[in-house]
Amino acid sequence: MQFDYDLFVIGAGSGGVRAARVSAGMGAKVAIAEESRYGGTCVIRGCVPKKLMVYASQYSEMIEDARGYGWTVGEPSFDWAALKTARDAEIDRLEGIYGRILDGSGVTRYPHHARLLDGHTVELGDGTRVSAKTILIATGGRPALPSFEGLQHVIVSDDIFDLESQPKSILCIGGGYISLEFACVFHGLGTAVTVSNRSTVLRGYDGDVRDHLVEAMTAKGIDLRMGVNPVEIVEKDGMKHVTYDDGSVVVVETVLAATGRKPYVDGLGLENAGITVDAGGAIVVDEFSCTNVPSVYAVGDVTDRVQLTPVAIREGMAFAETVFNDNPTSPDHELIATAVFTQPEIGTIGLTEEQARQEHEVVIYRTTFRPMINVLAGRDEKTMMKIVVDRPSDRVLGVHIVGHHSGEMIQCAAIAVKMRATKADFDRTMAVHPTSAEELVTMRDPVSDHT
């Protein structure tokens, strides 16, 4: 059978773009469809613009701390519009790069929504139909909304970047990393911040990490309300009145609902091709990212395996190797380092203490200290580092850091953990002094009373 393309990719985010251009480089005739902007969630409405806002929000404490180092600083002020203009210009620049990469790779671009008609045919939003030997779905995810009265009064994380003015007060509903990161961002920019969640924060993270972060955010003045559920939001005189199931009411200018994300499969026509999805709507794939239909693959958040940009990129690379380089490659989802850009920042890899204790006899090493940068500044915020070790083998099962530059540190620590380094390997490594990171190789005494 003759096809229009060897590969048709639906979705031009990190995973889809990588798969498209690498496959084209292997000699495939490739096309890609994107209904929104090139770059996907990470570049357009996620990691990149969020991190720029994280940087902006950190300057308030930097200005305060500068005085302790001899700097005379005038009365600071923040200009939301200036930040928005600069941030949006950078996102436009990056989107242009993605487009040029695809064009330079010989990939045909279609600026349309696309849906499957069968396992080899795609219909575009303008009615055009194209055929492909292989179809790759890489449409990512979308914010998932909670269920209560008055949802029309909330915004989701995508909407943050469209706000024309800075809210004077904001409620962040949710205890995941998106809610907490934006809570810290807005607090740093001068907004009064409340966070609420039905349970604890950062479910699935190490308990000491969660406790340390809650203590630090509370000390900064962020109002954390755990164990409550919103039941109704009513708007009065431009303010949102949020009523909780315990009868309490929070009144704020803006409400951010950040209660998780779900695979974006709306209108993809999966049923036309007979593609299997799980109970949460995620496309079910095998170890090589192939669906139950042999000609259709899926990578990234739409498969809900690990919702991280580098994972989607690696899955896209593995797909290209498997399908167009005759080299069956399964993406490695074991031991993935992650960072949470709260303030203080979190870096983590491997098992939490709670997870490790279920299957291992463990030894815990933990230290809490005030980093040097905070001393002259008179800031009491501390850094916490923790190493989880399997006692019989001495292998390091997990490393968890909360503090300045944790994301940078965990990337390096991840190499060692991925190589199955032992605690003795850490101990043999000479410290770099004076740094916070040196604590990772100087913790000698386990926590004897940790159960």
Q: Which residues are catalytic?
A: 433
Backbone angles phi, psi at 166, to 5 degrees: -80, 125
352, 398 Cβ separation under 8 angstroms: yes
The CA distance from 206 to 399, in Å, is 10
Closest by CA to 153, choosing from 139, 173, 168, 136, is 173
3-state secondary structure of 302: helix
- SS3 labels along 313-338: HHHHHHHHHHHHCCCCCCCCCCCCCE
The DSSP output letter for 440 is G
Kindly report the number of other CB atoms within 10 A of residue 237's CB atom: 6
Q: Give the closest residue to 366 by CA, choosing from 428, 447, 429.
A: 447
| CB distance 154 to 26 below 8 Å | no
146 φ, ψ (degrees, to nearest 5): -75, 180
DSSP state of 422: B
CA distances from 177 to 113, 144, 234, 372 (A): 29, 14, 26, 27
Q: Phi first, then psi: what are they for 332, rounded to 5°?
A: -90, 110
Q: What is the DSSP string of 337-351?
A: -EEE-SSS-EEEEE-
The 10 Å Cβ neighbour count of residue 338 is 17
CB 297 within 8 A of CB 137: yes
